[in-house]
Structure 1
Amino acid sequence: MSPSLGRSAARGAMFTLGAQGVKILLQLLSVVTLSRLLTPHDYGLMAVVLVIIGVGEIFRDFGLTSASVQASELSSGQRDNLFWINTGIGVVLAIVMFVLAWPVQAFMHSPELVPIVRVLSVTFVLNGLTTQYRAQLMRALRFRAMAVIDIVAVTVALGSAIVAALLGAGYWALVLQQIVSCLALLLGAVATGRWLPHRYSRQYEIRSFVRFGWNLVGANLLSYGGKQVDTLIVAGRFGTTPLGLYNRSYQLIMTTFSQIRSPLSNVAIPVMSRVQRDEERFNTYVVAGQIALGYGLGIPIALVAGLADPVVQIMLGSQWTQAAPYMRFFCGATLMSTLAFVGYWVYVSRGLGSQLFRYSLVELAIRVVCIVVGSFFGMLGVAAGVFVEPLLSWSLSIYWLSRITPIPVKALWLGGFRILGLTGVVTAVSWLTASSIHAGAWLTLLTGIGVGAVAVAAFLIVPVYRRDARELVSFIRLMLRRDR
């Protein structure tokens, strides 16, 4: 591993994770503050619109961020052309969303949705303008700049929303928050990127980028659609109150850890793309990525799974105690999907967009089958189906990748099983501790964390776990080391 590139990767991970940590804290502050100033109806209106925006954002990016980042060479002319394509897609989506305002209102029977949908359609234009600026920052490994931009955007947007809510703006405070965030991201990226696009020119070929991006669009649409299957089934079969329990526990676990995990792609994909022709170095990154993600996120996930009851009482309140069993299944699903996440890095960094699309089709089919079958056993069955799908997909992902590109199969299997062994024990001992203590939620939580930490330390007796620990410590030191 090149020391310079290694330091860039590790320090990029530090900046990215640090920024994401701040963003998560700001999001929690947003929930605590704005939920006291706005009504559930306000949030419900915004939730409907955000579902539409979520689908549109997949088309707006068109996979061209990843396409430009992973390309071994990218001329200034190609960059300019990609900028205008993303901007054009954003304009088209804004027009489509503006027109869809009336059908959405008719479907939901909420007249307030018409102005909300139309105003928020501008976010597609703003994000379209931002896309290639963000891609160039990623390509240049300027992770510190991206971290600062993200934090400033979230902070300014939250402040605007709080002021608007205090002035009685209602759901318009949430609308303002979205627009200010997009605008701040655009201004920050333009100021940091320091380049202005020239006009579109056919002289610069970008068909390969578009083909790569289209496959990513298909894969991301399948992934997004698959994530909605369980919500639709729970809503249709069990009603809104059970759906509230299910969604709240889902958001608390899977969404939170996903927000920690996903931004690391901004670091991993550019770095792995640079070494994709060096098989030995590439495989080193793949194995190191699984170990870092598996232990770094796996141990906290295991603790939450074992201590789900006090976690629910502290985070959600005693009225949400029925959410604890769902949380345990979602913790298992999050851990398994984390182990498989490095496979996505391999697909994108090696330019395997079409193969990723085909794999996503199979993965979606597995998810639908698991959730539908689980639904016959009640809501816990649905949650169990959500867990079983990544359990199967992790195994399939390693096999699938090994058939199309060289990967360190044995190292990934062994590393994954070591992580599962440790996290399984941590979950068990923390759960037994919580079950045997009849005290307050905070005391139970702290005691369970302490016992779980002792269990982790006990694994260091085993040489292979000491080796994994040394790799993690080396990675942390690399993050903190400055270039000389």
Structure 2
Amino acid sequence: MSSSLAHSAARGALFTMGAQGGKMVLQLMSVVTLSRLLSPHDYGLLAIVLVIIGVGEIFRDFGLTSASVQAPELSDGQRDNLFWINTGLGMVLAAAIFFTAGPVAAFMHEEELVPIIRVLSTTFLFNGLATQYRAQLMRALRFRATSVIDIAAATLALGSALVAAVLGAGYWSLVIQQLVNSLTLLLGAVVAGPWRPRRYSRNHPVSPLVRLGGNLVASNLASYIGNQIDTIIVGRRFGTTSLGLYNRSYQLIMTTFSQIRSPLSNVAIPVMSRVQKEQVRFNSYVAMGQVALGYGLGIPIALVAGLADPVVRIMLGAQWIAAIPFMRLFCGATLMSTLAFVGYWVYVSRGLGNQLFRYSMVSLGIRAVCIIAGSFFGTLGVAAGVFAAPLLSWSLSIYWLSRVTPVPVRSLWLGGFRILGLTGSVTAVSWLTASAIHAGAWLTLLAGIGAGAVAVAAFLILPVYRRDARELVSFIRLMLRRDRTV
């Protein structure tokens, strides 16, 4: 890799991670502010619509963003043709979703869905127009531009939603948020993009790119539906109010922490890829990675689980108290999926894409079975199924990895149990502390965090946990000097 390209990639990673952090902050602000102005029913309605929009978006993109970005060469004519393909798909899907609004509303027993679906169907057109503009920014490594556009869109969308909610627009404020976000992303990409599309031309074939994109559609669709089956079941069987409680809890916990994990992958995977042929060092990095993820994210997750009551009162407001048990179950699910996440690093760093796909499909099947089984016990049963799935998948992940590539199985098992022991204790101590204090939410939260910190300090008396702490520090230092030799 040339020094200029390496420099651009490094700067791109910095801007991308910065934008990710900014979007996460805006998402939390959205949860905190809008949850006080809107009801669980409002959020439940939008959650149903976004599942439908998400399925349509997979077909609207048709994998052509990835295909155009990854193509070694892309002529101006091919780029123009891809623009018209994405735009055409956007128009077709906008019309299709518009006319299926009635049947969807009837299936979900919610007539209010009809106008929401029809209005949001326009986002397919906006996104179709924006697809190749954004892809070209990515091909040109203009990560600063994409980061600025993303942050601007999220900020304007949140501001518009807040104004609408204050004025009493109800769930329409959430619709406005989606529309403003899509429209701003389109306008930003067009302004930043240095090209204007010309007419479609058969002289510039794009069939190889379309085939490549099409191959991504099936896997993306299976993954998306597998991850959204809980939303569909809760909305269909238990109504929009229950779905709103479920969805806000899910977004606050699982989505937030998954957004933290993703940028870490951008740093960890290149480092592990460099040492993949040095088995001893690779095993050491795998074990350190699990320790870093498990403690670095596990302790905050454990505190949120133990202090779910004050966290909900502070973050969402009193009308969301029923979300507390959902949050605790989702904290458990997030912790277990975090323990298994280091396996993803191994698959990618060693180029085991086919094995990763197979494991992912099996994991999605386990998740679907757990959620369907849990749904017979109500909405909390669905959340329990979401927790049970990564509990099973963690064990499967270690076994599956050991069958396809050398990994430190014993270290992963023992490290995982140590992490569970510490985080479980932190949850219990902070929960008991919060239960014993009859004070305001903020005072209860601070007392619980203090008690959790004492519990962590107590574990550091044990030599094995002090060793884990040293490995955590070593891993952080390693990640910070990723641009040097490892």
Report the RMSD for the aligned CA atoms in angstroms. 4.4
Counterpart of 2:30? 27
- Is 1:252 the equivalent of 2:256? no
Q: 2:72 is paired with a residue of what secondary structure?
A: coil
Query: How big is the shift at 1:368?
Result: 2.7
Q: CA 1:178–1:380 in structure 2 vs 1: closer, same or farther (change >3 Å)?
A: closer
Counterpart of 1:396? 396
Counterpart of 2:72? 73
TM-score (norm. length: structure 1): 0.77
Counterpart of 1:430? 430
Say if 2:19 and 2:150, in contact at 8 Å, map to a contact too: no
Counterpart of 2:14? 11
Which of 452, 459, 467 aligns to 1:463? It is 467
Q: How does 1:141-220 map to 2 (within 5 A)?
A: 142-164=142-164, 172-196=172-196, 199=200, 203=204, 207=208, 210=210, 213-220=213-220
Q: How does 1:85-164 map to 2 (within 5 A)?
A: 85-107=85-107, 113-138=113-138, 142-164=142-164
Query: How big is the shift at 1:24?
Result: 1.7
Query: How big is the shift at 1:123?
Result: 0.9
Q: CA 1:6–1:81 in structure 2 vs 1: closer, same or farther (change >3 Å)?
A: closer
Q: CA 1:404–1:15 in structure 2 vs 1: closer, same or farther (change >3 Å)?
A: same
Say if 2:17 and 2:263, in contact at 8 Å, map to a contact too: no
Query: How big is the shift at 1:336?
Result: 1.8
Say if 2:12 and 2:142, in contact at 8 Å, map to a contact too: no
Counterpart amino acid of residue 21 in structure 2: G
Query: How big is the shift at 1:294?
Result: 3.7
Instruction: Give deviations 1:149-171, integer Å, cap 9, x for gaps.
Output: 22211222233344455667665
Query: How big is the shift at 1:393?
Result: 1.6
Say if 2:51 and 2:228, in contact at 8 Å, map to a contact too: no
More off after superposition, 453-462 vs 435-444: 453-462
More off after superposition, 106-115 vs 364-373: 106-115
Counterpart of 2:221? 221
Instruction: Give deviations 1:174-211, integer Å, cap 9, x for gaps.
Output: 4333222112112223333434456556656663x555
Say if 2:36 and 2:316, in contact at 8 Å, map to a contact too: no
Q: 1:194 is paired with a residue of what secondary structure?
A: coil
More off after superposition, 391-400 vs 362-371: 391-400
What runs of 5+ residues in structure 2 fail to find an aligned partner? Answer: none
Say if 2:47 and 2:244, in contact at 8 Å, map to a contact too: no
Q: CA 1:76–1:406 in structure 2 vs 1: closer, same or farther (change >3 Å)?
A: farther
Q: CA 1:72–1:344 in structure 2 vs 1: closer, same or farther (change >3 Å)?
A: farther
Q: 2:150 is paired with a residue of what secondary structure?
A: helix
Say if 1:20 and 1:260, in contact at 8 Å, map to a contact too: no
Say if 1:10 and 1:478, in contact at 8 Å, map to a contact too: no
What is the CA–CA distance in structure 1 between the aligned matches of 2:112 and 2:378, rounded to whole Å? Answer: 35
Query: How big is the shift at 1:6?
Result: 8.9
What is the CA–CA distance in structure 1 between the aligned matches of 2:79 and 2:404, rounded to whole Å? Answer: 29
Query: How big is the shift at 1:96?
Result: 1.3
What is the CA–CA distance in structure 2 between the aligned matches of 1:211 and 1:350, rounded to whole Å? Answer: 26
Say if 2:48 and 2:235, in contact at 8 Å, map to a contact too: no
What is the CA–CA distance in structure 1 between the aligned matches of 2:263 and 2:305, rounded to whole Å? Answer: 23
What runs of 5+ residues in structure 1 fail to find an aligned partner? Answer: none
Q: How does 1:271-282 map to 2 (within 5 A)?
A: 272=270, 279-280=276-277
Say if 1:298 and 1:423, in contact at 8 Å, map to a contact too: yes
Q: CA 1:170–1:374 in structure 2 vs 1: closer, same or farther (change >3 Å)?
A: closer
Query: How big is the shift at 1:339?
Result: 3.4
Query: How big is the shift at 1:66?
Result: 4.2
Q: How many residues align?
A: 471
Q: 1:182 is paired with a residue of what secondary structure?
A: helix
Q: CA 1:201–1:129 in structure 2 vs 1: closer, same or farther (change >3 Å)?
A: same
Counterpart amino acid of residue 22 in structure 2: A
Say if 1:11 and 1:478, in contact at 8 Å, map to a contact too: no
Say if 1:26 and 1:154, in contact at 8 Å, map to a contact too: no
Counterpart of 1:59? 59
Instruction: Give deviations 1:331-385, integer Å, cap 9, x for gaps.
Output: 0101222333455567678887665554343223212332344455665544332
Q: CA 1:432–1:287 in structure 2 vs 1: closer, same or farther (change >3 Å)?
A: same
Say if 2:44 and 2:241, in contact at 8 Å, map to a contact too: no
Counterpart of 1:472? 476
Q: 1:90 is paired with a residue of what secondary structure?
A: helix
Say if 1:219 and 1:360, in contact at 8 Å, map to a contact too: no
Query: How big is the shift at 1:62?
Result: 2.8
Query: How big is the shift at 1:143?
Result: 4.2
What is the CA–CA distance in structure 2 between the aligned matches of 1:348 and 1:61, rounded to whole Å? Answer: 24
What is the CA–CA distance in structure 1 between the aligned matches of 2:423 and 2:404, rounded to whole Å? Answer: 31
Identity across matched positions, percent: 68
Instruction: Give deviations 1:218-274, integer Å, cap 9, x for gaps.
Output: 333333333444455556766776655544433432233334445667x469x75x9
Say if 2:329 and 2:383, in contact at 8 Å, map to a contact too: yes
Q: CA 1:16–1:98 in structure 2 vs 1: closer, same or farther (change >3 Å)?
A: same
Query: How big is the shift at 1:388?
Result: 1.7
What is the CA–CA distance in structure 1 between the aligned matches of 2:205 and 2:292, rounded to whole Å? Answer: 39
Q: 1:73 is paired with a residue of what secondary structure?
A: coil
Counterpart amino acid of residue 338 in structure 1: T
- Is 1:362 the equivalent of 2:362? yes
What is the CA–CA distance in structure 1 between the aligned matches of 2:349 and 2:132, rounded to whole Å? Answer: 17
